[in-house]
Amino acid sequence: MLYTIIILGSFILSLVLVPAAKFLSARLGAVDVPQDVKIHKTAVSRLGGPAIVIAFALPLLFFAGTRVYAFAAILACALGLVDDIKNIPPQAKLTGEIILAVILFSLGFALEFNPLSLSLMITILWLVGISNAVNLIDGLDGLAAGTAAISAAFFAVIAYMVGDNTILIVSLALIGALVGFLRYNFHPASIFMGDSGSLSIGFIFGIIGVSLADKVGYVIPLIILALPILDTLYAVIRRGINRKPIFRADLGHIYNTLMTRFGHTEAVFICYLAAAMSGLLGLAVFLVV
């Protein structure tokens, strides 16, 4: 019953808060204007992130063990929100992400390696890497929210199986917030999550992976999040080979190729299938190992 209340609560909050975010976005001028590397043809609100994060965080405030996840999501959302409104340089945003990763490390979210400096470096790389991977996968209507909800569902299943009630509650709250947001974000989207949403989701997944590492190992979170991770690695390699700036957006992502061949909605569903398959593979590895 508690788990049902959590997922329904975050879902309903998201449904209610997203229209308010759309209204506020128009007032602040926080809209995504069509450009050469953009898929949409008209200006679209990009303040969906705060609505997702509030819907996610509020249920977590009732449980002592989950409040730190709400805190992390709010900090990441604030960083992304500055970029959504002011368009800060990529280097400044990356610096903010590293600072947030250090804060989380100091709060105990650390991948255990010796010496401590190595643990800090790898934890920062993991948290910042996953946050940017989710950010980069946010390129089609409904893509990031839907694939993230699918990944969160598999984290919820694994958390339930290992008896980690904290991660289970966090995952369920994230699912509810994302599914509620999809009501407005699925093609044709009337609002985007923006960096405030994608960075928050990325950091949530990052600390879920850190928290589960001592129970399920390091490989399973990597498998569950394989789609955004592989797309990011492909983007870095592609831009490196073409001698393009790593932070410059392009239309060479996996989902762009799928959209060109199959269409927008079809490409999104193919990515949903890929996220589900990687989740099933992660679950299978967990069960076997």
What pLDDT band is residue 24 in, cutting at 50, 70 and 90? confident
What pLDDT band is residue 35 in, cutting at 50, 70 and 90? low
The per-residue pLDDT for 39 is 60
Assess whether pLDDT exceeds 80 at residue 122: yes
The per-residue pLDDT for 36 is 57
Does residue 69 belong to any structural domain of this protein?
yes
Specify the amino acid at residue 203: F
Does residue 138 belong to any structural domain of this protein?
yes
Assess whether pLDDT exceeds 60 at residue 285: yes
Does residue 226 belong to any structural domain of this protein?
no
Does residue 272 belong to any structural domain of this protein?
no
Assess whether pLDDT exceeds 70 at residue 191: yes
Structure tokens at 107: 């709060």
281 neighbors 261 (Cβ within 8 angstroms) = no
Assess whether pLDDT exceeds 80 at residue 277: yes
In this prediction, what percent of the chain has a pLDDT beyond 70?
96
Domain encompassing residue 59:
2-29+41-217
Assess whether pLDDT exceeds 60 at residue 32: yes
Structure tokens at 10: 């975050």
- Nearest in space to 134 (alpha carbons), one of 187, 93, 92, 193: 193
What pLDDT band is residue 170 in, cutting at 50, 70 and 90? very high
DSSP code, position 188: S
48 neighbors 18 (Cβ within 8 angstroms) = yes
Does residue 267 belong to any structural domain of this protein?
no
Structure tokens at 94: 């990356």
Assess whether pLDDT exceeds 80 at residue 201: yes
What pLDDT band is residue 15 in, cutting at 50, 70 and 90? very high
Assess whether pLDDT exceeds 70 at residue 41: no
d(CA 214, CA 107): 16
Which long-range contacts does 218-222 make (Cβ < 8 Å, 24+ apart)? 218/111, 219/285, 220/158, 220/282, 220/285, 220/286, 221/155, 221/282
Query: Mean pLDDT score of the chain, rounded to an integer?
Result: 92
Does residue 238 belong to any structural domain of this protein?
no
Specify the amino acid at residue 166: T
The per-residue pLDDT for 245 is 80
**pLDDT tens across 63-119, in order?**
888 999 999 999 999 999 998 888 888 899 999 999 999 999 999 999 988 899 999
What pLDDT band is residue 121 in, cutting at 50, 70 and 90? very high
Does residue 201 belong to any structural domain of this protein?
yes
Q: Which of 40-44, 101-105, 202-206 has the lowest mean pLDDT?
A: 40-44
Structure tokens at 91: 């280097």
The per-residue pLDDT for 40 is 56
Does residue 234 belong to any structural domain of this protein?
no
- Nearest in space to 74 (alpha carbons), one of 52, 47, 93: 52
The per-residue pLDDT for 278 is 97
Assess whether pLDDT exceeds 90 at residue 23: no
**pLDDT tens across 213-265, in order?**
989 999 999 999 999 999 999 999 988 888 888 777 788 899 999 999 999 99
For the chain, what is the domain count?
A: 1
